[in-house]
Amino acid sequence: MKKRILYISMICLMIDQLSKALLDHFLELNQSITIIPSFFRITYVRNEGAAWSLFAGNQIFLIIMSFLALYIIYVYFIKNKVLDKLELWSYGILLGGIFGNLIDRLIRGYVTDFFDFTIFNYHFPVFNIADICIVIGVFLTIISLWKGENNGNDRSNRKCQKN
């Protein structure tokens, strides 16, 4: 794996895991602290599923899907490819997020979530830093792929040249 992707992933993973450890230390389960009334709270919840608690209680399935996603991203997007800066950042952030939630599932059996928003009277599902990394990583990957297609570059077939 490219070293820069590894560094970016490790930084995202450390920030995610540190935030969850601090949350676990300072708050009780389901405790909430209002930051901006009627908009943003820090709420300590445990999510045994994926986004919106999909597949709740199916940790083995979610763990397998995480490993499969890591494998696909590495083999099809990173391995033996020449990557530009946007791709390095997008894959690094994405992998860091996947690893953050995967570690929670493997060690705790659930994912710790805490960002709690109400937007236009809709109580958005509680999420964490790993989730933010996954969303940003996917968004940047889409931009990178779109940018490559618009420039006539077929990034999927660019191979690393050995010196």
Residue in 92, 105, 104, 103 with CA at minimum distance from that of residue 136 = 92
- Which pLDDT tens digit goes with each residue over 114-148? 999 999 999 999 999 999 999 999 999 999 988 87
Q: Which residue among the candidates 84, 113, 116, 154 is catalytic per the annotation?
A: 113
Active site residue 131: yes
Amino acid present at 157: N
The model's pLDDT over 87-109, given as tens digits with 9 standing for 90+, comes to 999 999 999 999 999 999 999 99
Tokens of 23: 């949350």
| Residue 116 near residue 41, CB atoms below 8 Å | yes
Render pLDDT for 30-40 as a digit per residue (tens, 0 to 9). Answer: 999 999 999 99
3-state secondary structure of 67: helix
Q: For the whole model, what pTM was predicted?
A: 0.86
Residue found under tokens 């920030």: 15
Catalytic, out of 16, 104, 116, 131: 131
Per the annotation, the verdict on 113 as an active-site residue is yes
Q: What's the CA gap between 56 and 45, in Å, rounded?
A: 13
